[in-house]
Structure 1
């Protein structure tokens, strides 16, 4: 396993005892040198570019939630989806999230804008990291390269203070 850590924070979270307040998912459709992204309209990350995703409902697996959230946010059903990695977020305000990340090449249905998200295709070589959460630049290239990963991140609001990445 390869692990790296950096940032201005001290990495003060005891990740061995850490329990997330919520569990969520992200799902990225990647095909022909492009990635399907969204402009998030509401909720956590409103105004940022991200992938479709959201919270896991009681009784639902992370994989089921990733598919459901993609259907709800942009109208398509990705299939089959593949686990790409997991992200652990701790915010200074006490909020915490464990996020399972999935990827897919195929989908059914028609892409559409909803009240939650506006989807758009983006060339992989020009991903707009400056419009995304700052952690994305740490793990997204790994996902795009087919590498499985785990990441830990500490945030103060929108500002990432510490990060650690690990190859699985």
Structure 2
């Protein structure tokens, strides 16, 4: 449960901004540790999403990672209150509206890319694109 800032009061994945001289994966590992106390032993990127919000000229680029091995015990932080759910029992009604659309790709082990256009309320999206890809290496 996100406790403050963007996405407050929604169940959300751990994450945040990448710091200077940090790869996106290292940023994801750092954010996971800072927000939950967990240290990943295996992290794999599985998705790339772009979010557009009405009345905001800047798109939000979100890299989705899957962690299947970690050390430590999840703890509540100033930012998040971790909760566990079965991978097939996600409470989508408490999450961002897009999550239920890309989660099936995660369950199938597919990499994916997508775009979602949200209204200013940050709840409703008006359109989206989403597809499986063979690789997330766009270099």
After TM superposition, the score normalised by the length of structure 1 is 0.74
Number of aligned residues: 130
| Secondary structure of 2:93's aligned partner | helix
Distance 1:145 1:49 in 2: 22
- TM-superposed deviation, 1:80: 1.4
Asked which structure has the greater RCO (Cα within 8 Å, sep 6+), the reply is 1
Encode CA deviations 1:74-95: one digit per residue, 9 max, x unaligned. Answer: 0011121011010001111214
Distance 1:63 1:54 in 2: 11
After TM superposition, the score normalised by the length of structure 2 is 0.89
- Structure 1 spans left out of the alignment, 5+ residues: 1-38
Distance 2:80 2:37 in 1: 10
| Moved beyond 6 Å, runs of 4+ | none
- Structure 2 spans left out of the alignment, 5+ residues: 134-139
Q: Supply the RMSD in Å over aligned alpha carbons.
A: 1.0
Encode CA deviations 1:45-87: one digit per residue, 9 max, x unaligned. Answer: 0000111111111221110110000000000111210110100
Greater strand content: 1
